[in-house]
Structure formats: structure tokens, C-alpha cells
Copies of this chain bind each other. A is one copy, B any other.
Amino acid sequence: MMLRFRVLVRLKPGILDVQGAAVKRALDGLGFAGVNDLRIGKLVEVDVEAPDETVGRARVEEMCRKLLTNPILEDYAIELVGDLAGSRPGR
């Protein structure tokens, strides 16, 4: 199966989100009222060949630990988007 996963990488609670704060202030300046909080993170979408979801997820988990995220500063969540096998011809 060719599985597409989505990794949401966020700063850990307590780590100052400088970029988010700057964007929030810019929104205030543009007149957007009622914005209570805004945080900016990273989105990684990865297509992995794996026999099933469990194996694929474990592989993405390992990528996160080894390369995709900074475990000191960041948390991450892995979501399965779907199986591409149906929509892509070939493999």
C-alpha cells in the first residue's frame, strides 16, 4: 500500500511562538477582531510504501524522531490521510 500520512509539528506548550505572535499582531493591525490565539507550526505530508497502517505509522514516527522534528522544542501528531493505491496507477 502507498499510504499518505500528515505530520503536524507544533511548538511545545511553554515555548514562545514568535512567528505566531507576530502574525497575530499583524491581524490585529488589519482590523481582525476576535482572534484569541494563533500558533504557527509545520506541516509534513509524506507518502510511504508499507504493508499496513501500523507499519507505515511506525515508520513515520521514526522519521519524526530522527529528522522531521526537534524533540526539545516540538510536539508532533501523525494522521493517516489515506491509501493512494486506488488513486495512483502503477505501484
CB neighbors of B among A34-65 (8 A):
34-50, 59, 62-63
Chain A: number of interface residues, binned into ranges: 20 to 34
User: Which residues of B lie under 8 Å from residue A48 when comparing CB positions?
Assistant: 34-36
Of B10, B43, B63, the contact of A27 (CB 8 Å cutoff) = B63
User: Which residues of B lie under 8 Å from residue A80 when comparing CB positions?
Assistant: none
The answer to whether A10 and B49 touch (CB under 8 A), given A30-B66, A32-B59, is: no
A42 touches B40 (CB 8 A): yes
Asked if A23 CB lies within 8 Å of chain B CBs, one says: yes
Which chain B residue lies CB-closest to A45?
A: B39
Which A residues fall within an 8 A CB radius of B? 2, 8-10, 23, 26-27, 30, 32-50, 59, 62-63, 66-68
